[in-house]
Amino acid sequence: MASNVNIQRSGTLYITISIPPLLAYQRPSTLPYPSHLPPDFDVTNYELQCAHGFRNEEFSWGLYFDHGQGSGTWYTLRRVWPRGIDPTMPIPPAFQLIKQDIPIGILRLNAKVVGLIRVFAEVPGANTDAQTGGLRYYLDWLTANLAIQATRSFLWAVGVYVRCRQHVVRAHGLSDSGTFDISRFLKEALTFAYQEVWYAIGGQLPRPIITSVLGAALVRDEFLDGNRTQEVLPSVEKDDEKVLDVTDESQWPKLPERAKKTK
């Protein structure tokens, strides 16, 4: 089970869950959010309904990267409405990437934010300017390129996390023994979101942070899965970390050709 987090660290990646903008006729009291995950919840049916347009995504999913000293970047998607689409594009994008530099404390005071799920962390002391800056540069590039082909914000956010995880493992010359179960993560995230969404609608602030059981952390020269990171992170010494230049594009996970051309 995911666990609550009160400590924020630089070099940490979160998946954010927000309430989408309301339409003109909508009011918060009319939103169809349950208060908990139904016992008969079918992950496959939920995903297929969203994927085939039978229902809209309940939440807006994004990513937040904490790069230290009270600053961070929030990556989200905004749907492109038909009148804003360039007719000359052969396959116009469904979303536009929105990037905001915002302290995590301010983000947690955003009334639309339901909560944050920590999925990746680097140990304190490993976050040199080169490392954190390189990872920021990589995330800027990756979020923009995956946004071009995004059809759902959930798949986009999870795709960025998985590729970021692959990138860090490769850059550090490590092996990742864990496997990411997207259906299990969706169930974990929705359980959290349904528990918190009405508190968010009611204006309870700040919004909470949890650590995903499917998250990971880079500790010294190891890559740890899940909540083992909570046991290790506080006790790790700050020296012995190797400084890496993770701006080297040759080490980045490959993207589809369509995304590469737009880089």
Report helix angle 153-171 to 182-201, nearest 10: 120
Q: Dump strand ranges (E) for 84-192.
A: 95-101, 113-122
Report the number of distinct structural domains present in the chain: 1
Distance CA 117, CA 191 (A): 12
CA-CA-CA-CA torsion sign (188, 194, 199, 205): positive
Distance CA 228, CA 237 (A): 17
Distance CA 18, CA 33 (A): 13
User: What is residue 70's predicted lDDT score, i.e. its pLDDT?
Assistant: 78
User: What is residue 16's predicted lDDT score, i.e. its pLDDT?
Assistant: 98
Which residue, among 194, 196, 150, 160, has the nearest Cα to 180 in the 3D structure? Answer: 160
Q: Which residue segment(s) compose the domain that 219 sits in?
A: 3-261
Length of the chain counted residue by residue: 263
Give the pLDDT means over successive 10-residue stretches in the chain (263 positions). 56 94 68 88 81 73 89 92 61 87 96 95 54 75 92 92 87 76 92 95 94 85 64 32 36 45 38
List of residues 6+ apart from 210 with CB closer than 8 A: 2, 3, 4, 5, 115, 116, 117, 118, 192
Which residue, among 149, 95, 166, 100, has the nearest Cα to 262 in the 3D structure? Answer: 149
Tokens found for residue 89: 């594009």
